[in-house]
Structure 1
């Protein structure tokens, strides 16, 4: 990140300063991901392109008055980009559909959405909406969060770099701070798995190289518009 900002530094100097200041992110033992293998009779899908597989899940925090804050994370598994990081006190199936409509209009429509079996994700309103625009659902096995590894990995960074460092006075403050962190994550934080690019840079590069996929997404977006207009409010 320092080199991207124009600093001339080497790894050893940064590591020495990092150690001297006591800065440390706990090391976790790497787990094998068996994406693409069969588990419990369900074939898991590995993302092959932008907007192929998105991951969605919730993470929780609290404001200083003790009230719960519910945060919905939506990740593109191929680019690692955080598509949405929505902060609220509560979410329903209707809230999720409204969010997806907005995201689809901006980003395009994915082929599959991976999630756990939470009540918001399996609600009839959400299943009907996704079914009518031909978005597949890929539910993980109950009690198996590692099957949603991309969003779990994102939540680990989100917790270490934002939620564990901030005390939110109000919901509005949480929304603002978390929104700023999402922007930093997408546009400033390089990923080794993306050859040192940020998620936004990688997504832009992929989109520029796949014009056919963009045309298909545009066609499905038009279908989404017609479906959402027919859904009951």
Structure 2
């Protein structure tokens, strides 16, 4: 019970505040310090060589002088949701009972904000554990519309991020994701269907589409996560939030020349001057 609201449970109070319990509490995951160190090495290397499977990654670890065999590497990569692009196009596991929607982006020219949104989940290493981060991105501008951290892989934190993006920016024409169980769940797809959004899911051979948002993960990790080695969930949330604000508002994106994602989306600061 809470002293301010003695009749409300923590779950009920979180519901009233529109917060996930995972955003209030963080419990370190049950991996050894050695495994966490191995996961950090694997994560960095995978950003450089996303075609590495468990066999090649184990060889890399051995060349680095790490005693980490293929079976352990395979388990850790599975835990981190790292799937080599040449073996399997999807980046997360399907659920056998969930509906898979057709891929709608083939030969589609994406030329304006809110035409297509996309989403993905990434592993975030910490000093004593790890979290998962989901982001919703506008495809054209590359603006991060919303994001959530969680210490579990249930669909709830993905649904929260989606609802926040829809509430702030309205509905896109198309929403694209991989076929992971979080995004094929009825909790997630019902939100899109209720908003009259067309649902698109990457099919076989379309792993390249996910590389676009994975460039966001690369920048975030090298410019923020690896430099800080966050100790707690609250530290990670604060640091990642600050970096995403910088990315949206002040970091010109290579896809748009001198424009930041906010500016490409249509949000421009006052008195902005761009030289011809």
TM-score of the aligned structures, taking structure 2 as reference length: 0.55
Give the number of aligned pairs.
169
Give 1:23-62 correspondences, 5 Å limit.
Answer: 43-44=105-106, 45-62=108-125
Distance 1:168 1:43, change over 3 A: closer
After superposition, the C-alpha distances for 1:27-83 in whole angstroms (9 at most, x for unaligned) are 99xxxxxxxxxxx98652442211111110001023212x22000021111111111
Kindly indicate whether the alpha-carbon contact (under 8 Å) linking 2:103 and 2:200 is maintained by their aligned counterparts in 1. Answer: no
Report what 1:171 is aligned to. 233
Shift of 1:161: 1.4
Match of 2:208 among 138, 143, 146: 146
Give 1:1-233 correspondences, 5 Å limit.
Answer: 43-44=105-106, 45-65=108-128, 67-142=129-204, 144-204=206-266
Shift of 1:103: 1.8
Kindly indicate whether the alpha-carbon contact (under 8 Å) linking 2:147 and 2:161 is maintained by their aligned counterparts in 1. Answer: no
Shift of 1:142: 4.9
Distance 1:41 1:205, change over 3 A: closer
After superposition, the C-alpha distances for 1:142-196 in whole angstroms (9 at most, x for unaligned) are 5753222321222221222122222010000000000000011011111232131
TM-score of the aligned structures, taking structure 1 as reference length: 0.65
- Distance between the aligned counterparts of 1:71 and 1:41, measured in 2? 24
Kindly indicate whether the alpha-carbon contact (under 8 Å) linking 2:248 and 2:262 is maintained by their aligned counterparts in 1. Answer: yes
Kindly indicate whether the alpha-carbon contact (under 8 Å) linking 2:103 and 2:201 is maintained by their aligned counterparts in 1. Answer: no
Distance 1:196 1:125, change over 3 A: same
Kindly indicate whether the alpha-carbon contact (under 8 Å) linking 1:56 and 1:74 is maintained by their aligned counterparts in 2. Answer: yes
Matched residue SS, 2:182: coil
Distance 1:71 1:142, change over 3 A: farther
Kindly indicate whether the alpha-carbon contact (under 8 Å) linking 1:115 and 1:140 is maintained by their aligned counterparts in 2. Answer: yes
Structure 1 unaligned residues grouped into runs of 5+: 1-25, 29-39, 207-233
Shift of 1:139: 0.9
Distance 1:102 1:192, change over 3 A: closer
- Distance between the aligned counterparts of 1:101 and 1:85, measured in 2? 10
- Distance between the aligned counterparts of 2:205 and 2:224, measured in 1? 26
Structure 2 unaligned residues grouped into runs of 5+: 1-46, 50-101, 269-276
Matched residue SS, 1:165: helix
CA RMSD in angstroms comes to 2.6
Kindly indicate whether the alpha-carbon contact (under 8 Å) linking 1:54 and 1:75 is maintained by their aligned counterparts in 2. Answer: yes
